[in-house]
């Protein structure tokens, strides 16, 4: 498939990874935001709703013809689609990683990302009664630096992982973020709010990434004018 020249000219070194997104309306809205922000591509892992399902197409409003979409990927194949030196960041304000940290610190509510949902299953770790604190202590839960969404995370090419609203991000996404030197992106929300809609979170992060790149380009241009 070929894409509009204007779209290619405005493509940014940011891509989106959708992790187990099952709601057609949410996925279509996310694709629309990805196209609007200038994402280089969108990767969909296995478990996501089909990007070409009619409801996704309707919600996408033409986004499918503005940004490359790669469907039905195993996590083992995802790195093959990432540019060199890409850092992977997960948007996870209501996943198992957060819950484990909350149990260990007892201060998660101070940051607005604790939620009321019970621990859910990982793709490969299905012990429903597993205690998350003990799991983290055993070392199979990756330790990722948490940074706010408006801190600088676009110095290198970046990939943002958005998880489904039911189960959050997967263990595989956390492992990929750890292996690439990425982290977790936190969008602070006030206590008492369960979580953000996945499409809303994706839009906030993608356009924040676009803003950071624009500001960096403006600084470089201004600095260059002095020489």
pLDDT for residue 219: 82
Q: Give long-range contacts, CB 8 A cutoff, 24+ apart: 179-183.
A: 180/82, 180/86, 180/87, 180/88, 181/87, 182/87, 182/88, 182/89, 182/90, 182/144, 182/158, 183/87, 183/89, 183/90, 183/144, 183/145, 183/146, 183/147, 183/153
Domain residues for 42?
Answer: 5-95+142-224
pLDDT category of residue 138 using cuts at 50, 70 and 90: low
How many Å apart are CA 181 and CA 178, to the nearest integer?
Answer: 5
Q: Is residue 178 part of a domain?
A: yes
Q: Is 52 within the bounds of a domain?
A: yes
Residue 160's domain is classified under what CATH number?
A: 3.40.1280.10
Classify residue 114: in a domain, yes or no.
no
Strand segments, DSSP code E, in 66-203 are 69-73, 87-91, 146-148, 158-163, 183-186
* Within-domain flag for 131: no
Task: Give per-residue pLDDT as tens, 56-100.
Answer: 999 999 999 989 999 999 999 999 999 999 999 999 664 444 444
Is 130 part of any domain?
no
Q: Does any domain span residue 104?
A: no
Q: What is the predicted pLDDT for the residue at 208?
A: 97
Domain count for the chain: 1
Least confident of 40-44, 97-101, 183-187: 97-101
Looking at the chain, the whole-number percentage of residues with pLDDT higher than 90 is: 56
Q: Which residue has the higher pLDDT, 132 or 93?
A: 93
Residue 168 scores a pLDDT above 90: no
- What pLDDT, on a 0 to 100 scale, did the predictor assign at position 217? 87
**Alpha carbon distance 125, 39 (integer Å):** 31
Are 68 and 164 contacting, i.e. CB atoms less than 8 angstroms apart?
Answer: no
- Is it the case that residue 112 has pLDDT exceeding 60? no
In a domain, 175, yes or no: yes
Q: What is the mean pLDDT of residues 41-58?
A: 95
Q: Is residue 199 scored above 90 in pLDDT? A: yes
* pLDDT tops 50 at residue 108: no
The rounded mean pLDDT for the chain is 80
- Comparing CA positions, the residue from 181, 13, 157, 188 lying closest to residue 91 is 188
Q: Does residue 113 sit within a domain?
A: no
């Amino acid at each position: 498939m070929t894409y509009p020249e204007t779209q290619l000219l405005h493509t940014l070194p940011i891509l989106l990874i959708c992790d187990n997104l099952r709601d057609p309306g949410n996925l279509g809205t996310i694709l629309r935001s990805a196209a609007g922000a200038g994402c280089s591509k969108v990767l969909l892992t296995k478990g996501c709703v089909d990007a070409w399902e009619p409801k996704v197409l309707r919600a996408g409003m033409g986004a499918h013809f503005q940004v490359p979409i790669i469907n039905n990927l195993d996590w083992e194949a995802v790195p093959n689609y990432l540019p060199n030196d890409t850092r992977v960041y997960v948007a996870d304000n209501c996943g198992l990683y957060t819950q484990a940290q909350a149990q260990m610190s007892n201060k998660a509510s101070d940051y607005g990302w604790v939620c009321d949902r019970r621990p859910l299953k990982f793709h490969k770790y299905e012990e429903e009664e597993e205690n998350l604190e003990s799991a983290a202590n055993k070392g199979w839960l990756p330790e990722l630096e948490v940074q706010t969404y408006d801190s600088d995370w676009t110095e290198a090419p970046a990939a943002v992982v958005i998880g489904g609203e039911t189960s959050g991000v997967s263990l595989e996404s956390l492992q990929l973020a750890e292996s690439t030197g990425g982290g977790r992106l936190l969008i602070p929300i006030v206590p008492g709010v369960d979580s953000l809609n996945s499409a809303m979170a994706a839009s906030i992060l993608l356009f924040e990434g676009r803003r950071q790149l624009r500001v960096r380009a403006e600084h470089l241009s201004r600095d260059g004018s002095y020489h």
